[in-house]
Structures are given as C-alpha cells and as structure tokens.
Structure 1
Amino acid sequence: MDDFVSTPAEQRGTGHVDKMAPTSPSAGESMEGSEGDNALTIIRQELSQISAQMLTKVDTGNLLHEFRTAVREEISALLTDLAAVEVRVDALETEAQVCRNQHWATGLVTTRQGNLLLTLRRQVEDLENRSRRQNIRIRGLPEPDWGDWWGPRDTTKSVDLTTDGAAGGLVGSWGVLSRALRIWTNNVRGLNAPERRSHLLRSLWVNRASIAFLQETHFRGSDHPALRDSRFPTGCFANHSSTKKAGVAILFARHILFCCLETKGDPNGRYLFIKGTIADRRNTFASIYAPNTSQHRFLSKTLKLLDHFREGLLIVAGDLNVPLDLRMDTSKGRISHSDLCRRVTHNAIRAAGLADAWRILHPEDKGFTYYSPVHRGHSRLDYILVAQEFLHLLQTCDI
C-alpha cells in the first residue's frame, strides 16, 4: 500500500501550519562576538593613547617659539662671523696696499739711482768735452744744465689747512723736457675777490708751480673774472652755469709750452678734462671737485668718462671729499662717511689704473689737508692721482 504524503497545498487546505522553533546560537558565533568586542576595546584604548600624546595649542606655540629663537641665534652667530670676516678682509686689503706701495717706492728708489748714475756719466762726458775745448765757451754751443736732473731745488710748502685749503706737489721728469714738471692742487674756496686771485697767482709763482689744479673757484658761467697774468697766461675753466658755487680750473705757467687739443667740462662745475701736448707728447689733466655726499657714485661716473677721454700721460688732482685710508688718512681713525663710500671710491680709483702719488712716496706717513671743527679732527681729502704706468717719473710729493 502506497504511503500517503501531504503536500503544502493540502496542508494549507487543512489549516495546519508548521512553525519553526527558535534556535540557540552556536559556540562559534559566541566566540566571534567576544573577539570583536575585544578588538573595539583595544582600538579605543589606542585612540585614547594617541589623543593623550597629541600636542595642544600651547605646546605647539612653545615649540614654534623655541624654533624661532634657535634660528635667530644661528643667524646672529652667522652675522657675527661675517662681520669678523669683513674686518679681516679689510685688514688684508690694507696690508696688501702697503706692500704694493713699498714695492712702488722701491722701484722709484732704483729709478732714481739709475738717473743719478746717468747724470754722473753725462757730467763726466761734459768735463771731457770741456777739456778738449780747453774750457772755452763757444758762441752758439749751449752749456748743459744739470740742475733738473738732480730734482727740484725746493718742494711745495705746507699750507694753513683751515684758511687756504689743501695743496700738494708732484714733480715728474721726462727726458724730452728741459725742466721738471711740478703739479699743484688747491681748494681755493672762492676767487671772486681780486686780492684772492692776486694772492693765488703770486703763491703759485713763488712755489714754482708748472700746472695748477684749482677747486671751488665759485665762478659763474662764461662771464667770470680773469684769472691770469704774465706768469700764468693760459687757463681752462669749468664753472657752474647759474650759481657761484663749485667750479674747477687748470692753469699753465708760461714756461710750459702746452698745446690744448680738447677739453670737457661739467656744467655743474665738478670736473674739467684737458687733453693736449707738451714737447710733442700727449697728456691728459683732470681737475675734480667731488660733492659732500654720494662721492663714490660721482667719482665712479666721472672716472668712467675720463677713461674714454684720456690719452697719454694722465694726472688727476682735486678734492675728493673722502679719505681713502681710514687709518692713515684721518687723525682719529674714524670718519663720517660710510665704509661703502670709501671702499667703492678706492675700487673706482684702482679700476681706473690710478695711484695716490703721496701715498706711494710716503707709505707710512700721515699727512692731512683738511681740519673739521665739527668733528675736531684732521683728514686728507685732496689727492694727486697718477696713472700707474707713469709712477716711475715721480720724484717728490709733499703736503
């Protein structure tokens, strides 16, 4: 007999419904739940530790302050080291300049000794020629003049720095010249009064100046008083176009056969360039009066203009209004000008191939051309600069 199996439809028809009894969780599921709770607990603990270790705003500010303080201290130490290095560099530059000056001075002494030997040789030859002529002076045959070979018989005198300004003398000797060439520079502080002009020309003649470089003539425009006489008949001027201030000039003594070829003057009366010939040799002369401020900019620009103008022997003289050597050119070892101004001026002069004539011949001496009643100190502001290739022609230079 077949077994009877009721179908779901039949069961629904009879109203019988099978219900599933609730089942209890197994052991594996219980273990998984406890492990998850433990992991969450560990994560919460680690997050709490991380939160505790995180810096607060106060801690962050303190660390930032410490960092800034450390950086400032490092920068201050670096600046101190740089200042020490700069001082050392300045000292080395000064020592190098002293060595160069001593080298030039040694070369000048050697040149002088050679000139003296040449003079003695020529004198011996002259004595032999005189003996052949039986010491008879023949008309039309000039006797040799040896005075200039021994240098000048007198040197440029010192001047009263507080009243007459500054003056310096330079003597150079060319074989083609019959006499020595003497250069004079002076800050005259105004020449509009006739007695001042007369006194200046007389002083130049007494000091046997060949070429005079003048600053602060205070002439205005082209209509200015005459500054010449029979002893100094030739002169060139660069005056301020509208006011009686600044102004520079160059005067030539009558025994200097100077032929002017070209001139270049500043409309503000700050510089004057002259190019010409003496005994068929090209020469360039420049008279400069620097302003009281920004001297380094003015001199750098002026010397660049002069470099394009110059030809042959170059002599620059004037009032630079700044001492070149802080230790040697000031009485107190300090100046009111900035160190940058002094250094740029010194470098501009060196780049132009010029050398301080007085410092070359007096490497260890102190000489001053100006007294400042405000600072109560002396300084050397007036210079005669000579092209380095002609330094062997120097004989004397005095203040």
Structure 2
Amino acid sequence: MTNFDYYAPTKVVFGKGTEDQAGDLVREQGATKVLVHYGSGSVKRSGLLERIYQSLEQAGIPFVSLGGVVPNPRLSLVYQGIELCKKEHVDFILAVGGGSVIDSGKAIGYGVANEGDVWDFYERKRVAAGCLPIGVVLTIAAAGSEMSNSSVITNEDGWLKRGYGNDCCRARFAVMNPELTMTLPKYQTASGCVDIMMHTMERYFNQEENLDLTDGFSEHLIRTVMENARILMKEPDNYKARAEVMWAGSLSHNGLTGCGTAGGDWASHQLEHELGGMFDVAHGAGLSAVWGSWARYVLEGNPGRFAQFAVRVMGQEKGKDDTETALRGICAMEEFYHQVEMPTSLSELGINPTEEQLHSLAEKCSHFGKRTVGCIKKLDQEDMYQIYKMAM
C-alpha cells in the first residue's frame, strides 16, 4: 500500500428535521451575509427553500439567493454567482440541493476568493489559494460533493466538462435529512446510487497492495448501496434505505475508501464527463453506460483485482482463472444496473453518437492528445475512442 493523507473536516448533521438547524450552523461559522444557492423549482415546491430562509432569518443572517443550477452545472451561472457575491459582500455560500448545486457553489467560492478567471482552475492553469466558506443542505444522495474536495463544471464554450479538486473547498457543514430525498424520481434515485457506487469502485480498482480494511469497507459499502437501491425501486419512502444510501454517498467520496489506494483509476468518470458535456446526460446513468465497456477493455491490466471484486462484491463463483471470474463479475454488475433500470450502453442511455462525435469525445477526454487517464491500464486517445465505440 502507499502512504496516504485522510482529511475530512466537514461537520455532519444527520437525520429528520435537521434542515431547520441551517441558520444556527451558518451563524456558528461567523457569516455576515449568505448566498443561498439552489437549483430548480423543486426546492420551492417542497417548501424546503422557505424553511431555509426562515431558519436564516431566525438566526439573524442576511442573505441573497441565486437559483437555476442544472445537472452538469454551467460556468455561465458560476460567473453570475461570483458577480452577485462580490456586489452583495457575501462571505458564506449555502448550497441547497445535490451535487450540481454544491459544485456550482464551490466554483463560485473559488471565483470570489481568487482573482482572475475561475475556469483557469478547472483547466489546471492555476491553483486556487482559497475558497469562500460553504455549507450544504443536501437533497440528493449521489455526488458526495457535500464531503469531498472536488467540483465539476461544464463550460458552454465548447461544452467542456472539467473537474477540480482542492481541500479549501470542503464544506464546513453538511445537513443531511434522508426524508428530503423521498420525492426523487426513480431514475434519479437509481442514477444517484450508481454514482455513489462508482466513487468507491474508481478507488477500488487500482494497482496497489491494498489494505484489507479499506477493501472490506469499500466492498460492504457497494453491497449496501446495491441492496438499498433495489428496495428504493419498490419503496421510495423507505426512510432506512434512504438513510443508508445518503450516508454511503458521503463516505464514498470523502476519501475514506481511497486510503492506501494511491487515488484509484477514475477513467470511467473521465469518459462519462465528456458524455455529460456533449449530451447533457445524467451522470450516474452515463457511468453505468460506459463502465462495462471500460472494465472489459482494461481487465487484463489487473485480472486478480476484478476477480476479487466479482467474488467479494458480486457474489460470483470462481471460474477456471481470474479472467473468467472477472467477466462473471462484470456481467453481474451489468445485470444489477438493469435491475435498477440503468443503461449499460450508449444506445440504452438514449444517445447514438456519430463516428465524428466518438472521435470528438476521445479528443476532449484526452485533452486533445495531451493526457492519459486511468491506472489499471493507461488510456490514450485511441483507447478512449475504442471504449466509447464498444459502449455503443
């Protein structure tokens, strides 16, 4: 195993009715004016946004609001948020929503705390020196951004989707009430569950001598999400299942499942980012659509690791060799995706890229031939193209 740092400074306030504590939590941070950042009308229709406003008012915290965040959050709205925060002298951001809202809030925080164009950080041209402090009221269990150091933004100029990670953006607190996720559509719930699983799977597939404890925790987390995802397909208001998935989402992406793994692979995420940028698909659904093709393409880079996953996570019998066992595990995972109505190909995802678009996806994913991704097998632009083509 490799040496590792584990840093998880976010205060978690978990359970029923916890959103009513938002004002007091913001006041604890010493905020004098808050940007309440949110997405669509769902937080309004549910009454959540009004409860948040009331909580801030009761705590004596002035605020301004900016809604309109969409899945695959846009850079243009980030620019609006930066301008609004500077104009209103905002010193704290409260993100009310899921990963897209939180990621947008983090980007705004970078833009307020640093001079120059915030997109430079996502293009790896500069390193952020700070970020406006952020708190979260979580409404979707998926991205894990409430406890992670990462943020992903889509630039409409070229439809480039890029991620940036820096510990200074980690949320000061995360309010997590599983009840707030009960009204999510089945598709969004399932997509979120896939995203959670993939955050651990990306770390699980690596080339290190792994800690048994990290492996065991990771394997149990994935199985837990799978079990409760099946329950939620039939019982969307099952509080325990919602709670299991919500807590798994945070632990899957706060670094815990990556201890000693040297970071993991992350190629599937990079491949999906370009699908999200070009076709605006749901992130989790995009991941399930490409994962099987990625796994089959790279498994000979570490068949023993895939075989362990097949046995310990997917409950498969060992085959005549690691490759056969690994393939059983990949097929079993794809069967699970279908059980929760998630796609396992681009056509099932609802997109049919042209040959030109496949090459464009690979170009963008490789940063136009300037980088490789992954560690099970280092993927160059041609490899990326072949995986996209396999995923058709």
The TM-score with structure 2 as length reference comes to 0.25
TM-score normalised by the chain length of structure 1: 0.25
Q: Which has the higher strand share?
A: 1
- Higher radius of gyration, 1 or 2: 1
